[in-house]
Structure 1
Amino acid sequence: MASPTVQANYGYCDTFFVESYEDTDGIFARAAAERERARAIAKVQQRHMAADLSRLTSEVYLNDVLDHMEVMETMPDINSIEIQTEIQWFMRPYLLDFLLEAHHAFQLLPETLFLAVNLLDRYCSKRVVYKRHYQLVGCASLLIAAKYGDRKERVPTIKELKSMCCSLYDDDMFTQMEWHVLQTLNWIIGHPTVTGFLDIALSETAADAEVQNMATYISEMALYHKDFVPVLPSVMARSSLALSRYVLGRPQVHHPEWAARYDSNVVMDLSNQLSRPSQALFRKYSSAHLSNVATTLEQFLQRQNLMQQQQQQQTASQQPYPSPAQSTLDVQQVPGAMMTPQTPQKPVYAAVPIGVLTPPETPEKDFYDNSSYNVNQNLMHRLHACSSVTSAPSHPPYQYSSYPTSYPSQ
């Protein structure tokens, strides 16, 4: 046991082998607090040094990282999706609404949704997909994307996905479809998403959270339309960022920077689709933690329409007799009709090339005529009969789900 005289001569000993006595003057307590304060200051300095080194390293290798990300962009073939016989473009908004609500229910990362849609489109461009399996492919794509880049505790389970699908599919069907998607894509999952390029573009320019949320909102809105399926994520990120700056009244970036090299045609196409977001997407981005960008965009469109009407009234007052060019109807986009997902339908093709059918159910042999690609009328009759079987189940709908289990026949 150490005496107070020994401790006074040799100072305070921070060990369990020395018995501490009552610190009447508070010397030892002040010394211990000073040491803790010095450690906290050292940790803060180390974090600042690490952040500075990381920033310097990212600036040095930024161009190499961008070049590698652009090389890794793996896009689907929209021409192969066009020749699908059962899945049509009008089904896409319903499936994306389902994936959007599932993504929100599981609180997954933003890049998980973009990766899931990319896997879905790439699979549909390589395999023949039946409409009764379209939702199953979407669930498998979301599951793969969540396992690839999301948090482990937030990855949805097969039981949860089955509940969201109203028990339309069995457990083994999810597992088999997940394996088949991976096999079809040759296990190539890594794909830089729009959010990754947005982070790089926003790191180059000082942008606030509202600009980022607006750009993400516009990018997710583009997922619903087939015209933006072949657009590269790097182009989509820069174009949506430029359009979001215009909507919010922010200054544009100078052209020497990478973030300013956007595609004007994509920006114009995106601006034409701003007034038609889906109901689920509008609700998602009307929340406060996403800066209420959906409401901001709706107000912007209302102001634009009001200004356009005023200009038309001024023009009409200056020209009492309309010219033949002005006598044609001027179709305008009404912001009030922005709650229904709309996607142009593609024409129905009478034949598809030979492909590998989608598990777990495959029709009988001789599905395609190898000589002339003409579909047998009896087989088409049986397919219509099978489609009537996949009607809405008797189970109550899931509280997050708005995806119908059957589609109207065209």
Structure 2
Amino acid sequence: MASRPSGNRRALGDIGNIVGALSATYLVTKPQHQQQQNHTNNLIEIDRPTTRRKFGAELTAKNQLHGKATKIIIEDDPKQSRTASSRKKRNRIPEIHEPKSIQMGEEEEEQEKENTRKKKLERWECGSSFNASMSTETAELPLDSEVDLQINSCVPTNYMSNQTDINHKMRAILVDWLIEVHYKFELMHETLFLAINIIDRYLSRQGVMRKYLQLVGVTGMLLACKYEEICVPLLEDFIYISDGAYTRVDVLKMEKSMLNTLQFNMSVPTPFVFMKRFLKAAESDTKLEMVSFYLMELCMVEYQMLKFPPSLLSAAAVYAGRCMLRRSPTWTKTLRHHSTYSEDQLQECVRLIVELHQNAGQGKLTSVYRKYSFSKNSCIAILMKTTTIETHFHSN
């Protein structure tokens, strides 16, 4: 390893801070007229100067020999203004009292244990009655009266009407590009769903110029990565994929604007949350999981699909996936119970999903179709392309 140039710096020995040097005594050379007295040794040892503390200690030791308790006062240190006897009293170890159980007799000890047991029993009965009453009240509540947490993640279905410089086609181009970015970075599913949700919620509240729309998309993906991912891509990576259209300062400013606009609310239920739950209720395999996510991502690109709540969109994707794979029955009682949707309630959304599936791979926005055409995703887009589900769907 190459050493750094020292420049004009002096060695440690030149400035007298060698470790251990002259730590106890100082060595000096005897004057010329004293060298004649001792020719064998030209060095003498000089002790450190006597300090007030050292002097006080020596004086105390002398007085103790004569049986006196002398009060030593050091004006600069008022803490030392106490006699040796007072220091001994202050440093005395306090008495350690034995535990109460040792001091009590056997009968008192048993009574104390019984009282403690009764108090614990009363607290337990109180907690049990409270939990029981809460469980009863919850069980009596119908599913429709539960608080719908999806409100925080939904956006107005016509929010693009408030934008003056962008439209739903530009949003579709942005989402299609972000799906490709997400695949190239090998990020998790939940990151993509959260990123799209962050972007839609921000655009529904804040007007954005056309030249900054890609910056909103890049920053939304960065925020989702920070929230979901363990290994977050570098900010420079997002600047690179945007072809250097924005600087680091631009991204940080947009990140601040988006967080303040959304009031730092990143914990929202996205379609991914419901999808995992419904797939578990459907006892899905890898093939059904791939098909359902493929159909769901096709929906994410389309602005018109924002009118459906995330739970309904996920349920419709699972329903359509089971139709494509000829699973019978298409909608089980378990799925109806966990999704709270009947087949009739899913009809409109499923029809739109079928149309998106039939048109997949056509036109300019083909990122989802190409993504699920790779072997990594079991080539599910190619396999399902030849599957006609419209007739099977209508027969149900």
Take 1:273 and 1:105, find their aligned partners in 2: how far apart are those partners?
23
Take 1:176 and 1:284, find their aligned partners in 2: how far apart are those partners?
32
Question: Which whole-Å deviations, capped at 9, do the CAs of 1:45-72 have from their partners, x for residues lacking one?
Answer: xxxxxxxxxxxxxxx99x99xx677456
| Matched residue, 2:311 | 234
Deviation of 1:201 after TM superposition, in Å, equals: 1.1
Contact kept, 8 Å, 2:295 with 2:317, in 1: the verdict is yes
Aligned partner of 1:286 among 326, 351, 373: 373
Aligned partner of 1:139 among 205, 218, 221: 218
- Structure 1 141/100 Cα, relative in aligned 2: closer, same or farther at 3 Å? same
Gaps of 5+ in 1: 1-59, 306-410
Question: Which whole-Å deviations, capped at 9, do the CAs of 1:296-330 have from their partners, x for residues lacking one?
Answer: 221114x869xxxxxxxxxxxxxxxxxxxxxxxxx
Q: What amino acid maps onto 1:240 in structure 2?
A: A
* SS of equivalent residue, structure 2 residue 158: helix
Q: What amino acid maps onto 2:351 in structure 1?
A: M
Contact kept, 8 Å, 2:150 with 2:268, in 1: the verdict is no
Deviation of 1:288 after TM superposition, in Å, equals: 2.3
Answer yes or no: is 1:129 the counterpart of 2:212: no
Alignment of 1:1-400 (within 5 A): 70-71=149-150, 73-151=152-230, 153=231, 155-251=232-328, 252-255=330-333, 256-259=336-339, 261=341, 263-277=346-360, 278-301=365-388
Take 2:341 and 2:216, find their aligned partners in 1: how far apart are those partners?
35
Q: What amino acid maps onto 1:257 in structure 2?
A: H
Take 1:193 and 1:156, find their aligned partners in 2: how far apart are those partners?
22
Contact kept, 8 Å, 2:311 with 2:339, in 1: the verdict is no
Contact kept, 8 Å, 1:69 with 1:192, in 2: the verdict is no
Return the TM-score normalized by structure 1: 0.55
Deviation of 1:111 after TM superposition, in Å, equals: 1.1
Q: What amino acid maps onto 2:367 in structure 1?
A: A
Number of matched pairs: 242
| Matched residue, 1:397 | none
Q: What amino acid maps onto 2:190 in structure 1?
A: E
Take 1:158 and 1:71, find their aligned partners in 2: how far apart are those partners?
30
Contact kept, 8 Å, 1:95 with 1:135, in 2: the verdict is yes
Contact kept, 8 Å, 1:73 with 1:232, in 2: the verdict is no
Contact kept, 8 Å, 1:253 with 1:259, in 2: the verdict is no
Alignment of 1:396-407 (within 5 A): none
Contact kept, 8 Å, 2:291 with 2:380, in 1: the verdict is yes
* SS of equivalent residue, structure 1 residue 300: coil
Q: What amino acid maps onto 1:276 in structure 2?
A: N
Contact kept, 8 Å, 1:74 with 1:191, in 2: the verdict is yes
Question: Which whole-Å deviations, capped at 9, do the CAs of 1:16-72 have from their partners, x for residues lacking one?
Answer: xxxxxxxxxxxxxxxxxxxxxxxxxxxxxxxxxxxxxxxxxxxx99x99xx677456
Contact kept, 8 Å, 1:219 with 1:240, in 2: the verdict is yes
Take 1:139 and 1:214, find their aligned partners in 2: how far apart are those partners?
27
Deviation of 1:218 after TM superposition, in Å, equals: 0.7
Contact kept, 8 Å, 2:150 with 2:269, in 1: the verdict is no
* SS of equivalent residue, structure 1 residue 200: helix
Q: In angstroms, what is the RMSD of aligned CA positions? A: 2.6
Could you list the runs of 4 or more consecutive aligned residues of structure 1 that deviate by over 4 angstroms after TM superposition? none
Q: What amino acid maps onto 2:173 in structure 1?
A: Y
Question: Which whole-Å deviations, capped at 9, do the CAs of 1:170-209 have from their partners, x for residues lacking one?
Answer: 1100011011000001111111121211111122221111
- Structure 1 127/158 Cα, relative in aligned 2: closer, same or farther at 3 Å? same
Take 1:93 and 1:128, find their aligned partners in 2: how far apart are those partners?
17
Deviation of 1:117 after TM superposition, in Å, equals: 0.6
Contact kept, 8 Å, 2:215 with 2:254, in 1: the verdict is yes
Contact kept, 8 Å, 2:150 with 2:309, in 1: the verdict is no
Q: What amino acid maps onto 2:189 in structure 1?
A: P
Contact kept, 8 Å, 2:150 with 2:310, in 1: the verdict is no
Take 2:264 and 2:236, find their aligned partners in 1: how far apart are those partners?
24
Q: What amino acid maps onto 2:246 in structure 1?
A: Y
Structure with the bigger RCO (C-alpha within 8 Å, sep 6+) is 1
* Residue identity (%): 25
Take 1:180 and 1:72, find their aligned partners in 2: how far apart are those partners?
22
Specify the structure having the higher radius of gyration (Cα): 2
Take 1:299 and 1:126, find their aligned partners in 2: how far apart are those partners?
41
